[in-house]
Amino acid sequence: MTISELNDYYLLEGAIKDGRERIAKIEAKLCASPAFDTSGVPKNPTPQNRVEATYIQLAELKSELDNSVKQYEALKTRIEKYIAGISDLLIRRIMEKRVLQHKAWSVIADELGGGNTRDSVKKMYYRYISDNSES
């Protein structure tokens, strides 16, 4: 496991959240703004059907989101197996708190106690990854 892969986990999680928010906004726009008035006449006739274009955009975004979710789930499974396989309990707990729970170094040090500092926890994390990287 590399630092890059561990960082990608966090970034993919954020990208999925952003994608879901974009899809929700587009769906809300489609529901809240009917393209036709009560008599069935288009409110703003244009050569391009805006509702159709919006549905196409929505389908593309959903497809991209599905791909991101699959990539995220695969990476998440790999990272969870990697962390579960760490025999040193202290390092495993640091990894869980930093990677899976997205906690700050100072919070991790406080939670672990035992005289650990922000810098010592951070050094242990990076040292373990550099000593045990697959690449």
What residue spans define the domains of the chain? Answer: 1-85, 87-135
Reported confidence tier of residue 60, pLDDT bands at 50, 70, 90: confident
Q: Is the pTM of this model over 0.85?
A: no
Rounded to an integer, the average pLDDT of 66-76 is 86
CA distance 116 to 10: 24
Query: Residue 40 pLDDT more than 60?
Result: no
pLDDT cut 90: percent of the chain above it: 36
Reported confidence tier of residue 103, pLDDT bands at 50, 70, 90: very high
Nearest Cα neighbor of 132 from 82, 98, 90 is 82
pLDDT of residue 89: 95
Rounded to an integer, the average pLDDT of 80-90 is 93
Query: Residue 101 pLDDT more than 70?
Result: yes
Nearest Cα neighbor of 3 from 113, 93, 134, 120 is 134
Three-class SS of residue 36?
strand
What mean pLDDT, rounded, does the chain reach?
83
Q: How many CB atoms lie within 10 A of CB 97?
A: 20
